[in-house]
Amino acid sequence: MDIHRSRFVAYPSSAINALSFSRSSDKNYTDPRPALKLALGRANGDIEIWSADKGDWVQESVFPGGSKRSVDALAWIQEPDDTDYEGHTILGQLRLFSIGSTAAVTEWDLTTGKELRSSTGNFSEVWCFAAQPRWRPSKASREDEFRGQNLDNDLVFKRFLARGGNRKTRCMSVTWKDRDTVVAGFTDSTIRIYDARNAGVPGAPRDTLVWKVRCLPNGDIVSGDSNGQLKFWDGRTYTLSQSVHGHDSDCLDLVSSTDGTTVFSGGMDGRIAVYKLGGKEGEKRRWAKTSHRRMHEGDIKAMAVYDSKHMSVVLSGGASNLESAHLCPANILPGLPQTPVLASCPQQRMLVSWAESDISIWRMYKQSPERIPVPEDTRKLLARIQIDSKEAITSVAISPDASLLAVSTTDSVKLFHLSHTEDDREDRLRVRKIAAPEAMAENGARLITFSPDGKWLAAVSPQSEVCLARVEDASDKPTFLDANVELERQTRKVTIQTGLKKYERTINRIAFSPDSAVLVASDLSGYLDSWVLEGHYDATAPAMDTATKSSSGSDKGTDSDDDSDSDDEDETTIFYGQHWTDNPSGNLLPKLDSAPLVLSFQPLTPAQQEEPTTNGNPGVHPTRNNPHPQSHALPSTKSPLFVVTSHHQVYTFDVLIGRLTEWSRRNPTSVLPAEFQTIKDRAMGVVWDVNDARARAWLYGANWVGMLDLSQNYEPSSVLDEALEDGEDDISAQHTPSKKRKRRESNKWGKLAEQRKKAKGMGGAGDKAASGETKGVVDEIRRIEDGKAIELNGTSHEQDLDDEEALDDAVGPLRRGNDDAEADTNGGADGALAVTSTGRRKWWCTYRYRPILGMVAMGEKTSDAEEEQPEAVLVERPLWDLPQLQELGK
């Protein structure tokens, strides 16, 4: 694989301002419990929803922000539970609210990612708010006042609670002690206690700012102020019990454990401090600061905690990263989007990137291996587009011939025609806006993509409805046919209640088959919906025709003569003799263990591409009784669907049959290389390298790139472990010392995978790993400008990967070359070895690229595809572009 390392793509970072779990613990919850979700708010207005199922941290969805927006605080509530006619509990749905230095409290639609409703109360900025325990009316405060929110399936201003101090006094934080008592911290160094049923008495103004107040389970109150002190207050007498110095500067946020004996604080010094309540029950107990650790280079603006017997985790948000820690181990979660903000047109060697409302289009010229360092003339910025919309961009797609660019936001879809100017001396690109299909343009989309043949544009609306538009070929100005196709999704039966019924059905990935005849969409619950393009393309047929579904034997509702009149009136649209319909075997596709992160069809091999295709529908003729005949010939797609879930389970499906492929049955995830099973960062995408001899899937995450060869079989590494446990002497007698060393090394990775499997989910920060495994990315950062090295010191995360020996130790035996690999004498494949007896690698992995924004294919293969190295562009976000490292560089 020829990889172009690209660090010129701009992607602005945005600080984390708010973190909120849907619940802080499992206390007082009985089965069925609502799903555990983390809401993360950024300074640019983005809201991210994260899942921590089984300790695997995955960014599930992003509610894009917009112009002049920010998110300063987040809060979840849950509607009251209900019962069905059989007496079974129906979980109340979870609801998410935010404030952002405006005069409004906003509720978000979890299904569409749009604003659902807001309430202003006609007052000034809201600085903080808190939800009443057990889903009573929420409380919000502005600069010097509290406001109540009646949340009975609505959001309206209820009444003033109290006015604190004079007009210059601002309320900085608010929390609930119990259902009727509100605790608030003010800028005049006072903490006021209010009875929600009446009002309280303001105190005298002072200089200290009370940034955060929290109530412990026993009713005591803890506060953090601008002096860096934590103060503990008696919950019955409201008197100061103890004061502990925690930070060198302001203490900005506080969280506590479920039992109330441990408190965590974060401050402007970037440290997280831990406080423990000493002594025994019944004795006089005192708080003491037990430890602190510098987690961030800048302010810690937000913290959240989830504490239960299954997982205990503290999260802190800084300038750009999300830190996950459980006392000892710590893990920096990726600050880049889970869905890559990149697209490419390999044939035209074009790279498209986007951020907020800006789009950049680059030309990537083929590099010469002798030119090191790579000069800037290997790339060129062809165009930069700024979208005229208040909403941020959600998705961008470019057609296979680079003639169309589709851009979507939550409220619109825009299309641009790209054409190259006829100038041999300079590479130029002309961009013209063209009309988008009306239904798409008005509704917006969360995902958008072109089919591989460029004839179809698929869009997923914010409501997770799938719509298709047919592209008309026109060299000067492409157009779309008037009619769109709205595909129907299967109705799924709810098996496990999560309190997020509609949200779980949100479509997160969509993919076309290589022949553009099969479309598959996945949702957050793990279901797969699929549709097929029946019939064959017929250039002599009408460009667009309609017929009732009753004339199609494969469509729903045609097997019974008792169909309603409305069903008989349903029409299907035929485009050049083809029409979209449900996959007949779609209901056979199983529900996945978790949401898919990678959804892609394996490309066709050169031999498959040369197979003849059917042209037209010779057996279909109009008659008097059937003037609009339809061909029901199913496509002959031979490409398997490749899926990687959020738990890193790998599957391949034969979509037209509705079952796992033979390779997937022989090679479950448990027999894949041990190193792949120990990767913490979740997969983001895949780039393919397929020919008649191999089928390599190049997977990548925020900090790693790996390869799986799907044309080979794997065997469980546990077979090797059992052999070593039975006696190393017997093995050493049968093998050379070098082979024994390699088996020991392979066994090390197998045991590491087993240990991490046992530890996964307990810490929440990843694993209860040794301190050496939790250290940072690099020990030294060097930036080269004009031939001069600029030293930048940053937090290290792994070993020094510039050292080749350290790199080999870091990635283990799986990436060794042919000279250092052991042949499989049994004719099978050792799951811990990278090379088979034929010299072909099964698996390879590296951690030298980081942090990765995305990876896309580049360059068109020639006829000699077996010998040609595939190309890919890997976009890194340079470490020195991170805000905290820029400050260090200064």
The better pLDDT of the pair 818, 378 is held by 378
What pLDDT, on the 0 to 100 scale, is given for residue 751?
A: 56
The Cα–Cα gap between 724 and 155 comes to 64
What residues contact residue 756 under an 8 Å CB cut-off, 6+ apart?
677, 678, 767, 769
Cβ(170)–Cβ(185) below 8 Å: no
Q: What is the mean pLDDT of the segment spanning 188-212?
A: 70
Give the rounded distance of the alpha carbon of 643 from its chain centre. 15
Three-state SS at 645: strand
Closest CA to 265 of 284, 244, 235, 280: 244
The amino acid at residue 349 is R
Does the pLDDT at position 554 exceed 50?
A: no
Cβ(291)–Cβ(279) below 8 Å: no
Which of 3-7, 472-476, 801-805 has the highest average model confidence (pLDDT)? 3-7
Does the pLDDT at position 725 exceed 50?
A: no
Cβ(164)–Cβ(128) below 8 Å: no
Peptide bond preceding 590 in cis form (omega within 30 of 0): no
The Cα–Cα gap between 471 and 406 comes to 12
Does the pLDDT at position 758 exceed 60?
A: no
Does the pLDDT at position 726 exceed 50?
A: no
The Cα–Cα gap between 718 and 731 comes to 15
What pLDDT, on the 0 to 100 scale, is given for residue 760?
A: 52
- Burial category of 158 from C-beta neighbours within 10 Å (exposed 0-12, middle 13-18, buried 19 and up): middle
Cβ(864)–Cβ(889) below 8 Å: no
What the block records as the tokens of 157 is 């201003």
What pLDDT, on the 0 to 100 scale, is given for residue 465?
A: 93
What pLDDT, on the 0 to 100 scale, is given for residue 214?
A: 92
Percent of the chain beyond pLDDT 70? 72
Peptide bond preceding 542 in cis form (omega within 30 of 0): no
- Greatest distance between any 2 Cα atoms in the chain: 96
Cα distances from 810 to residues 5, 359, 805, in angstroms, run: 21, 37, 9
Map out the domains of the chain as residue ranges.
337-486, 718-763+774-850
What residues contact residue 624 under an 8 Å CB cut-off, 6+ apart?
none
The better pLDDT of the pair 163, 648 is held by 648
**Local confidence band at 330 (pLDDT 50, 70, 90 cut-offs):** low
Owner of token pair 């069809």:
601
Does the pLDDT at position 627 exceed 70?
A: no
Peptide bond preceding 462 in cis form (omega within 30 of 0): no
The Cα–Cα gap between 50 and 53 comes to 9
Percent of the chain beyond pLDDT 90? 31
Cβ(695)–Cβ(7) below 8 Å: no
Does the pLDDT at position 19 exceed 70?
A: yes
Give the dihedral sign, CA 557/558/561/565: positive
What pLDDT, on the 0 to 100 scale, is given for residue 832?
A: 35
561-583 tens-digit pLDDT: 444 444 444 678 888 888 899 99
47-80 tens-digit pLDDT: 999 998 877 889 999 999 887 789 999 999 888 7
Does the pLDDT at position 847 exceed 80?
A: yes
Does the pLDDT at position 205 exceed 70?
A: no
- Burial category of 1 from C-beta neighbours within 10 Å (exposed 0-12, middle 13-18, buried 19 and up): middle
The answer to which of 71-75, 93-97, 630-634, 698-702 has the lowest mean pLDDT is 630-634
pTM over 0.85: no
277-319 tens-digit pLDDT: 988 877 888 999 998 888 887 788 889 998 887 788 888 887 6
The Cα–Cα gap between 859 and 658 comes to 33
Give the dihedral sign, CA 647/652/655/660: negative
The better pLDDT of the pair 197, 417 is held by 417
What the block records as the tokens of 484 is 């769109």
The answer to which of 219-228, 705-714, 799-808, 830-839 has the lowest mean pLDDT is 799-808
Closest CA to 538 of 665, 670, 630, 434: 630
Q: What is the mean pLDDT of the segment spanning 452-474?
A: 90
Three-state SS at 442: helix
86-134 tens-digit pLDDT: 777 788 888 999 998 778 889 999 999 988 888 876 667 788 888 888 6
Cβ(697)–Cβ(686) below 8 Å: yes
The Cα–Cα gap between 873 and 887 comes to 29
**Local confidence band at 612 (pLDDT 50, 70, 90 cut-offs):** low
What the block records as the tokens of 832 is 């811990």
Which of 65-69, 197-201, 593-597, 755-759 has the highest average model confidence (pLDDT)? 593-597
What pLDDT, on the 0 to 100 scale, is given for residue 202?
A: 38
The better pLDDT of the pair 460, 739 is held by 460
Does the pLDDT at position 199 exceed 80?
A: no
**Local confidence band at 811 (pLDDT 50, 70, 90 cut-offs):** very low
**Local confidence band at 854 (pLDDT 50, 70, 90 cut-offs):** very high
What pLDDT, on the 0 to 100 scale, is given for residue 780?
A: 42
Q: What is the mean pLDDT of the segment spanning 528-533?
A: 94
What pLDDT, on the 0 to 100 scale, is given for residue 769?
A: 42
The better pLDDT of the pair 470, 101 is held by 470
Closest CA to 849 of 700, 707, 709: 700
**Local confidence band at 687 (pLDDT 50, 70, 90 cut-offs):** very high
What pLDDT, on the 0 to 100 scale, is given for residue 263?
A: 94
The Cα–Cα gap between 131 and 77 comes to 7
Which residue stretches of 291-410 are H helix? none
Does the pLDDT at position 359 exceed 80?
A: yes
Does the pLDDT at position 624 exceed 60?
A: yes
The Cα–Cα gap between 461 and 463 comes to 5
**Local confidence band at 196 (pLDDT 50, 70, 90 cut-offs):** confident
Q: What is the mean pLDDT of the segment spanning 468-473?
A: 88
Q: Which CATH superfamily is domain 337-486 in?
A: YVTN repeat-like/Quinoprotein amine dehydrogenase (2.130.10.10)
18: left (phi over 0), alpha (psi -120 to 50) or beta: beta
The better pLDDT of the pair 624, 603 is held by 603
The amino acid at residue 220 is D
Does the pLDDT at position 388 exceed 70?
A: yes
Which of 78-92, 138-152, 609-623, 830-844 has the highest average model confidence (pLDDT)? 78-92
Mean pLDDT value across the chain: 77
The Cα–Cα gap between 63 and 72 comes to 15
What the block records as the tokens of 552 is 């199609």
The answer to which of 21-30, 131-140, 263-272, 802-811 has the lowest mean pLDDT is 802-811
What the block records as the tokens of 134 is 């057990």
The Cα–Cα gap between 851 and 332 comes to 12
Q: What is the mean pLDDT of the segment spanning 165-175?
A: 82
The Cα–Cα gap between 558 and 581 comes to 13
The answer to which of 195-209, 386-400, 826-840 has the lowest mean pLDDT is 826-840
The better pLDDT of the pair 679, 322 is held by 679
Cα distances from 392 to residues 355, 739, 863, 885, in angstroms, run: 8, 55, 41, 27
Does the pLDDT at position 864 exceed 80?
A: no
